[in-house]
Amino acid sequence: MKTAPAFWWRNRVTGESSTSVIHRPSESNWVRAALMFALGLILLGTLTAPFAASAQNLGTSPQFGQAVQGQQATTVEGTVLNIVNWGCNVIAPVIAVACLGIAGWHFKSGRGYMGWGVTGVALMVISGLGRMAEGFITQAQGIQ
């Protein structure tokens, strides 16, 4: 049985065999190897980054265990304000710009663009409403 040389060497070995023979390509795919290496570095960084991040710098001194200056992460207001800040100031506008860009691309190519455009505008409206809610939450902190 001559299947082992066909697997380890980069040439085809003929022989009678009852199992399937795995043939390796004669050239290495360096682009794939570089991408796999980069993805491995990203994964390693993602797994080790929480050990390096110990505090947020929210002004002149780092604030441990606090979400926003003057608020604790354990309160409902601090948690809601963080979610609203992240969702309405980062996520929704980025996706909205992407949707509007795709709508423009579809309009240029003569394809249907209305769904992408409406989605982009709706995400901007959601972002505005969320920022309005953020203002309400911030103003409510002064009420005793």
- Cα separations in angstroms, 103 against 48, 117, 135, 138: 38, 5, 31, 35
Contact 19, 3 (CB under 8 A): yes
Residue ranges in 21-144 assigned as alpha helix (H): 30-52, 76-86, 92-109, 114-140
pLDDT tens digits, residue range 84-104?
778 888 899 999 999 999 999
pTM to 2 decimal places: 0.45
- Cα separations in angstroms, 33 against 3, 18, 22, 46: 26, 32, 20, 20
pLDDT tens digits, residue range 42-66?
999 888 877 766 555 555 655 555 5
How many percent of the chain have pLDDT more than 70? 63
Token pair belonging to 124: 């901007």
Average predicted confidence (pLDDT) for the chain:
76
The average pLDDT across 100-127 equals: 93
Partner residues linked to 117 by β-bridges: none
How many percent of the chain have pLDDT more than 90? 31
